[in-house]
Structure 1
Amino acid sequence: MRTTIGYTVESIGYVIGAQGVVSFASQTFFGTEWGWLHKVVDLPSTAYLGLVALGLALVAGGVKTRKAAERRQTA
């Protein structure tokens, strides 16, 4: 079960991080809106960097949870 949770959290982290990168890059460098995140919330460019950090934290937490579960199963 922890392995499944780890994969799920990691996958959500990838999506959030990717949307943060795309939204930040589109607003900062092109002055347009890309991705779907801007349809949900209207944030300034720097706030999207916070979403990138959140995505990275979720990926790291998911990997840690998954690896811990795999270590328990093999022990």
Structure 2
Amino acid sequence: MRTAIGYTIESIGYVVGAQGLVSFASQTFFGTEWGWLHKVVDLPSTAHLGIVAVGLALVVVGVRTRQAPARRDIA
């Protein structure tokens, strides 16, 4: 179960981070709106870097959860 939860959190982190990165790049360099994040919230371009950080944090938490050693009691 721990592995499934880790993969789920990690996958959500990749999606959130990618959307934050795409939104930041599109607003900063092209002056347009890409992705689906702008349909949910209207944020300045620098706030999208915070979304990228949240995505990276979710990836790290997911990997650590997935790689946590399983406890086995051998008697």
Do the structures match in fold with TM over 0.5? yes
Listed as ranges, the matches of 1:54-65 within 5 Å are: 54-65=54-65
Listed as ranges, the matches of 1:1-75 within 5 Å are: 1-68=1-68, 71-72=69-70
C-alpha RMSD over aligned residues: 1.4
Give TM-score scaled by structure 1 length. 0.92
Q: Structure 1 unaligned runs (5+)?
A: none
Q: Percent identity?
A: 78
What is the CA-CA distance between 1:50 and the residue it aligns to? Answer: 0.1
| Number of aligned positions between the proteins | 73
What is the CA-CA distance between 1:14 and the residue it aligns to? Answer: 0.1
Inter-partner Cα distance in structure 2 for 1:34 and 1:59: 22
SS in 2 for 1:64: helix
Larger Rg: 2
What is the CA-CA distance between 1:73 and the residue it aligns to? Answer: 6.0
Q: 2:56 corresponds to which letter in structure 1?
A: L
What is the CA-CA distance between 1:39 and the residue it aligns to? Answer: 0.4
